[in-house]
Copies of this chain bind each other. A is one copy, B any other.
Amino acid sequence: MTQHPDAKVFIVDDDAGVREALAWLLRTRRLLSEGYDSADAFLAEIAGWKAEPDVPCCMLLDVRMPGTSGLALFEHLLTLPWKSVMPVIFLSGHADVPTAVDAVKRGAFDFCEKPFSDNALVDRVEQALGLSAQVQAERRAQHSVQQRLQSLTERERDVMDLVIGGLPNKLVADRLNISVRTVEVHRARVFDKMGVKSAVELTNALRQAGSP
């Protein structure tokens, strides 16, 4: 049984038999799936999405398909901001080494050759879903910090950038050619908006939100 009850697996393959076999296989592990007969069909689907997926998900993607190839679809996914939320497992009947190596180097989660072991494949799917869940958790944590950051005014951000560099208010004031008192005002607003009480807490909050 999976640890991700609401997870979803997207199957993109032009062969209906393959899609059904994979869907059946995933159902035996209580995994939801959705089939698409082409890369474009999947692209049409995500075009309708208003936000990035909020449940763990991954993709089983055939390399060779009529029309847009699996590799091309993968390339397109890489341009999306939530690319790492959707790990891609390539499926291929007769791939060459350079293609597979290139896909993995670009971040594909795995590259499986047909015929593959059912158990091994579903294990990989569940690992991919685990990674997806982890990435989503990180993105959610980053989201609140990101929103707080966007609520800062331009000047407040200027001050914050220098403060998290470790400069005392005096030097921040010199650097921005304003008075210490004004720096203190901005600094206090930044702490307030970011929900912290000290410069150290601020740097910690920014660090764990992926700014480095």
A123 CB, nearest partner CB in chain B, Å? 14
Interface pairs A-B: 5 shortest CB-CB: A166-B201, A166-B200, A104-B104, A101-B111, A97-B100
Give every chain B residue within 8 A of A98 (Cβ-Cβ).
113
Choose, from A24-32, A46-54, A191-199, the stretch at the interface: A191-199
Copies of this polypeptide in the complex = 2
Query: Quick one: which of A92, A96, A97, A110 has the most chain B CB within 10 A?
Result: A97
Asked if A204 is an interface residue, CB under 8 A from chain B, the answer is: yes
Query: Bound complex: CA of A163 vs CA of B201, how far in Å?
Result: 10
Which A residues from 80 to 103 make CB contacts under 8 A with B?
92, 95-98, 100-101
Known: A203-B203, A203-B204, A207-B207. A166 touches B97 (CB 8 A): no
Give every chain B residue within 8 A of A208 (Cβ-Cβ).
212
- State whether A196 touches B166 (Cβ < 8 A): yes
- State whether B101 touches A110 (Cβ < 8 A): yes
Q: Which residue of B lies closest to A98 (CB)?
A: B113
Query: Bound complex: CA of A168 vs CA of B92, how far in Å?
Result: 57
Give every chain B residue within 8 A of A164 (Cβ-Cβ).
200, 204
Which A residues from 161 to 212 make CB contacts under 8 A with B?
163-166, 168, 196-201, 203-204, 207-208, 212
Give every chain B residue within 8 A of A204 (Cβ-Cβ).
164-166, 203
Partner of A104, one of B101, B113, B163: B101
Give every chain B residue within 8 A of A163 (Cβ-Cβ).
200
Give every chain B residue within 8 A of A197 (Cβ-Cβ).
166
